[in-house]
Amino acid sequence: MPFKTPPPTPKHSTLTFPTPQILLVTLSRPKSLNSINSEGHHELHGIWEWMDAEPGIRVGVLTGEGRAFCAGADLKEWNKTVQSNNSASQPATGFGGLSRRSGKKPVICAVNGLCLGGGCEMVVNADVVIASEKAFFGFPEVQRGVVAIAGALTRVVRTVGRQRAMEMVLTGRRVSAVEAERWGFVNEVVGSAEESVKRAIEIAGTIAANSPDAVIVSREGVKLGWEGVGAEDGSRLLIEGWQGRLNEGENIKEGLRAFVEKREPKWRDSKL
């Protein structure tokens, strides 16, 4: 598969390509329930950066190997760090390079199982979340004397509301996939871990079939509202920052031309 630059070769996760336009990242530390250590955070940051820069890749999917999506931080490593009065190392994009990521292209989480702590922090900032019916979610940090400091606290309230957010982060209780879907924390619940990945790839394929320019700019518009910008300010920033670039691209011309000519559009890789 030709790439502009070679894909990363991470130690703690595996990369596959279900289609030429979809990147599937699988956390691969099943014996540690896919907990992420310092090296893993920086690896994942590099993967998402590569995806955003690689013209042919349009959507990313993240899942886990084995019975866990991600159990959060590597607590053994974290304990050593805290006992020596040092700070754990994370990239500016947060836990797994995702919990505080802004980015350019969408990431879908296929939550195949247990999703706790930092795993939940990644899910909070994902663009779409598909979960196995056996998956469950939680922020157990308070039970260990630590805090979900990687970005989720200020974001989860925007998804589930103040009272539900407080319940999750102050009690540490586990929330089932069905309950999480009812709260709006999860888009869709499916029957099994395998189905969660399959469904996530299906949705990724639907996104990838659309104009890559329009996907990038539409995602940016939703993010502006998500990040607390007022509706009118967000619209103004989107128009001023993106509309001219969108209109100058080939994909908007191709999409409208294809509609008039009654055919499927042939998208080009985004140059945004």
Active site residues: 73, 118, 121, 141
Contact yes or no for 191/135 (Cβ under 8 A): no
Residues 6+ apart with CB under 8 A from 170: 142
Classify residue 177 as exposed, middle or buried by CB count within 10 Å of its CB (0-12, 13-18, 19+). buried
How many Å apart are CA 101 and CA 193, to the nearest integer?
25
How many Å apart are CA 103 and CA 97, to the nearest integer?
10
Contact yes or no for 153/140 (Cβ under 8 A): no
* Residue 242 in tokens: 């993106």
How many Å apart are CA 147 and CA 141, to the nearest integer?
5
Residue 14 region by backbone torsions, left for phi larger than 0, else alpha for psi between -120 and 50, else beta: beta
> HSE-up of 27 (CA within 13 Å, CB side)?
37
> HSE-up of 41 (CA within 13 Å, CB side)?
23
